[in-house]
Amino acid sequence: MREYLVIIPAVLICLMFHEVAHGLVANWMGDDTAKRQGRLTLNPLDHLDPLGTLCMVFFGFGWAKPVPVNPSRFKRPKLGMTLTALAGPVANFLLSFVLIFVAVLLQVALPGQRVALAVAEFFLQTGILSVGLGVFNLIPIPPLDGSRVLQALLPGRLYYKFFNYQVYFQIALLVLLFLGALNGLVATLQIDMLNLIIRGVSGLLGLFGVV
């Protein structure tokens, strides 16, 4: 039970940052659909996809309710779609970097303090989940962000074929998750990204003379 008291709020934070990043970049690129529909809110409940959230809680990776995007409103539709799709995973990686950085600072500055250690533990758990969400969403299978990047890069004819078969891809994704077929790939990518983030955090802390 205690584990879920940490995981659930961590999941909500990761999903909220992920989707707000999509909406902010879309708005910056010329599409204010997400803004008009209230999807730039920091209320995590507005970004939840029930199935994707459950996957995050039980598997450590999943997806949120996609923000509405209208590529025709972008001045450069393919570039706008690509940057909007990548914004979520990138936001998750940046969030993880900041949380791990602060967690280490708390452990160094307040050693032995129970509250500080509890906050640091929560930040570390959230950072790990955030990386898992980011790398998982880069897989090019709908409804994940990687599929939007792939769609944006495909020629028009292939793009529409890919779009028409999205439902089947989503079913295939659920089957793969149920069978655990993606666990090894996601875990490997998650560890690689976490190692990269930890090296970055160590380098930054070293600049400040903390470690």
Catalytic residues: 19
HEC profile for 38-77?
Answer: CCCCCCHHHHCCHHHHHHHHHHCCCCCCCCCCCHHHCCCH
Ordered DSSP codes for 155-197: -HHHHHHHHHTHHHHHHHHHHHHHHTTTHHHHHHHHHHHHHHH
**Rounded distance between C-alpha atoms, residue 133 and residue 154, angstroms:** 24
| Torsion sign over Cα 199, 64, 173, 160 | negative
